[in-house]
Amino acid sequence: MININEHYLKLKSSYLFADIAKRVEKFQKDNPKQEIIKLGIGDVTLPLPTACIKAMHEAVDEMAIGDSFRGYGPEQGYSFLRQAIARDDFQSRGALIEPDEIFISDGAKCDTGNIQEIFDTGIQVAVPDPVYPVYVDTNVMAGRTGMFQEGRYQGLVYLESTKDNNFIPALPDRPVDLIYLCYPNNPTGATITKDELSRWVDYARTNKALILFDAAYEAFIKDPDLPRSIYEIDGAREVAIEFRSFSKTAGFTGTRCAFTVVPKNCRAYDGQGKEVSIHGLWNRRHSTKFNGVSYPVQKAALAVYSPEGQKQVQANIDYYLANASIIRDKMQSLGFECYGGVNSPYIWIDGGKDSWSFFDDLLNKAGIVCTPGDGFGLCGQGFIRISAFNSLENVEKAMARIEKAL
């Protein structure tokens, strides 16, 4: 008899964005002539930078010639891309990351979900609330939690992020082993200072814990005083793994390319308390379960670091940040408290009512899709998230509709 992993049965019946899709589908069916503007999920709308497209075309042409054709590439990624990342994303900011500490993958979502496989199922896990659902759900699947009760999974430590603490949670009031942090934050749009991040690094060092730092939105940081990598903090190499993505940086959501940084002196422990190299374990897992990102996609990602690519990527980032400013300004003018939208593409809005009720109001009265905050956790109740990832025309149209409806 084939049995299932019963931890999957603990999962809530559906995924947040699946719930949204069902409601939108029903609304569209009932209102077939209504144009819907989607400002919910964080999917980019601008095309890939021209430099990336050019590089991808050239790489595809190489695949048509015997002398330049490539089959399987290194699972960890081609050295040309790893070297560029190490130099431009880290070493240029004083973060001492080497190319062989970078692992190219097909998405930060995949890596943040997969990384937990190399840790014991009995560890104590701390997650922010509100939280990107993947952090929680993959630990549920692995068996590190109890059942879902009253809006939370038993066995997890929830780090409450509210407007009272500027969405920077307090350090855990008990020892934990694995800590998820995301800045700029998805969903709240909050950013973290070097001093605030240093406290987390110090906590991890003191408690022999590990931080999983999701920096997928670091390219949106314009404030030069804010850290764009956890490795800008002294001691972070020993206690942190960082995840980044080309999806929001350069529009690779449909192209798929990201990377994870695992320093060689990043530490974990076996059952006898002996230090074990996380770098070696992740390299083994990555090599076993992943066959690498395609050569043309990695060449396209490399073009991000060219002078032309940098200009084009920054132009796209500025475009989305301008959208964010329009959304934030309009919602504030309508009397709503707003967070994020600065150094972040997400605007976190206190709706003053039930999140799903506010979601339904915007959908049914204005044809606008947002994301209800309580889908990200109990601390998201009463909030909605609006994404800046759309055209300027649609953002302006959406704000006009919302103003008329509300």
CATH code that applies to domain 15-44+308-405: 3.90.1150.10
Summarize pLDDT for 305-344 with one digit per residue, the tens. Answer: 999 999 999 999 999 999 999 999 999 999 999 999 999 9
Indicate whether 17 pLDDT > 90: no
Q: Which long-range contacts (CB under 8 A, 24 or more apart) does 303-311 make?
A: 303/49, 303/51, 303/52, 303/54, 303/55, 303/56, 304/49, 304/51, 304/52, 304/246, 304/249, 304/250, 305/84, 305/85, 305/88, 306/51, 308/49, 308/50, 308/51, 309/49, 309/51, 309/52, 309/250
Amino acid, res. 329: D
d(CA 155, CA 158): 9
- Mean pLDDT, residues 378-396 taken together: 98
- Mean pLDDT, residues 50-65 taken together: 98
Summarize pLDDT for 231-270 with one digit per residue, the tens. Answer: 999 999 999 999 999 999 999 999 999 999 999 999 999 9
- Mean pLDDT, residues 219-226 taken together: 98
Q: Are 324 and 388 in contact (CB under 8 A)?
A: yes
Q: Are 390 and 37 in contact (CB under 8 A)?
A: yes
- Nearest residue to 282 (alpha-carbon basis) of 153, 142, 105: 105
User: What share of the chain in percent tops pLDDT 70?
Assistant: 100
Summarize pLDDT for 335-370 with one digit per residue, the tens. Answer: 999 999 999 999 999 999 999 999 999 999 999 999
Compute how many other C-beta atoms are within 10 angstroms of the C-beta atom of residue 138. Answer: 17
Q: How many CA atoms lie within 13 A of 12 on its CB side?
A: 19
**Confidence band (pLDDT; 50, 70, 90) for 117?**
very high
Least trusted range by pLDDT, from 36-45, 192-201, 285-294, 340-349: 36-45
d(CA 238, CA 279): 11
- Mean pLDDT, residues 25-46 taken together: 94
Strands 258-261 and 240-245, by their bridges, are: antiparallel
Indicate whether 12 pLDDT > 90: no
Q: How many CA atoms lie within 13 A of 319 on its CB side?
A: 21
Summarize pLDDT for 200-213 with one digit per residue, the tens. Answer: 999 999 999 999 99
Would you tell me which CATH number, out of the four given (3.20.20.70, 3.40.640.10, 1.10.150.130, 3.40.50.80), belongs to the domain 53-305? 3.40.640.10
Provide CATH 3.90.1150.10 ranges for the chain. Answer: 15-44+308-405
Q: Are 240 and 278 in contact (CB under 8 A)?
A: no
Q: Are 184 and 217 in contact (CB under 8 A)?
A: yes
- Nearest residue to 356 (alpha-carbon basis) of 385, 327, 388, 390: 385
**Confidence band (pLDDT; 50, 70, 90) for 14?**
low
- Mean pLDDT, residues 157-176 taken together: 97
- Report residue 271 as tokens: 């059952």
- Report residue 298 as tokens: 């990695």
271: Cβ contacts below 8 Å, ≥ 6 apart: none
Q: Are 72 and 209 in contact (CB under 8 A)?
A: no
pLDDT score, position 19: 85
pLDDT score, position 13: 65
Provide CATH 3.40.640.10 ranges for the chain. Answer: 53-305
Q: Are 143 and 121 in contact (CB under 8 A)?
A: yes
User: What share of the chain in percent tops pLDDT 90?
Assistant: 96
